[in-house]
Amino acid sequence: MHFFRNISRNDINKLKSKIDLDKLPIHIAIIMDGNGRWAKKRNLPRNIGHREGAEAIKRTVLFANELGIKHLTVYAFSTENWSRPKEEIDNLMKLLNEFLDRFNKEFGDKNIRIRHIGEPSVLSHEIQEKIKQVEKHTKDNNGLCFNVALNYGGKFEITQAIKKIANDIKENRIQVDDIDEKLISKYTFTKDIPDPDLIIRTSGEYRLSNFLIWQSAYSELWFDDVLWPDFNEIHLVNAITDFQNRERRYGGR
C-alpha cells in the first residue's frame, strides 16, 4: 500500500518562484508529528503511518536540497520515545535500517551529506555501523547537510554538555571564566551546525517537545495542522515564504 502525493515538475517550478532564493533560511529543523494519527484516521496500523512518514522525509530532503537549503534537521526519535511499545520501536528501527540501506541509492547523486545528532550508544550495533558508513560515504558532499536527530533530547544534550565542561575544568583544559554561550555551544551535538533559523512542527501541536532547546532561542517557529505523512513541497514553501515575511530582531528594535 502506498499513497502517492507527487507534484508535477511544472508545479514545483511554480512553487519555487514564490520564494526569494537569496533569502533562504540557512537551517530548517522539523518536528515530524502525526504519523500515528494519520494511520488511525485511515484505520491502518501505526507502522504504515511511520512508513508514509519516511516517504515525506524523502520528499522534503530532495526539495530542500533543490532549493539550496544548507542544513535540514529532522526529529526522528527522541530520548523519550523509548517508552513507546516495543513493537512500535522495533518497526521504527526497521524503517531506519531500510532508510540507511537506501540512502546512497536514492540520494547518492544529489550531493547530500547525512549526519547523526544524538547519543548513539544505545542503538543497535548494526544501526551504529550503518550510520558511520553513510556519514563517511557522504562527508565530502557540499549540498544539503541532512541531520537526523536520533535518540536525541534537548535536556539530555545540555546535561551532557555540562558534564563535559565540568570534566574539562577538572582536567584544567578550561577555566570557569572561559564559560560563555559560544563555549557551551561547542559542547553540544550541533557544535559545527548553525542554529536553526526556522523550526517547523506538523499536526497542530504547539510545542518544541525537548527539541533543540538550546539552539532554538531565536528560531522562527511555524506550525501547521497537516499530519506529517501528508507534508509536501507546498507546505515547505508556505513555511519558507512566511519566514521570509517576518522581521528578525534578535531582541533589538
Residue 223's pLDDT is: 98
pLDDT digits (tens, 9 = 90+) for 150-173: 999 999 999 999 999 999 999 999
Q: Are 128 and 97 in contact (CB under 8 A)?
A: no
Active site residue 195: no
* CA-angle at 172, arms to 170 and 174, nearest 5°: 100
Which of 13, 33, 167, 177 does the annotation list as catalytic? 33
Active site residue 81: yes
**Domain residue limits at 201:** 23-153+195-244
Is 78 contained in some domain? Answer: yes
Is 59 contained in some domain? Answer: yes
Is 182 contained in some domain? Answer: no
Is 123 contained in some domain? Answer: yes
CATH of the domain at 27: 3.40.1180.10
Q: Which residue has the cell 526519535?
A: 77
Which of 13, 35, 81, 111 does the annotation list as catalytic? 81
**CA distances from residue 219 to 55, 112, 161, 213, 250 in whole angstroms, order as listed:** 26, 24, 21, 10, 9
Is 86 contained in some domain? Answer: yes
Q: How many domains does the chain have?
A: 1
Residue numbers of the chain with a pLDDT score lower than 50: none
Give pTM, 2 decimals: 0.94
CA pseudo-torsion sign 88, 94, 97, 98: negative
pLDDT digits (tens, 9 = 90+) for 105-128: 889 899 999 999 999 999 999 999
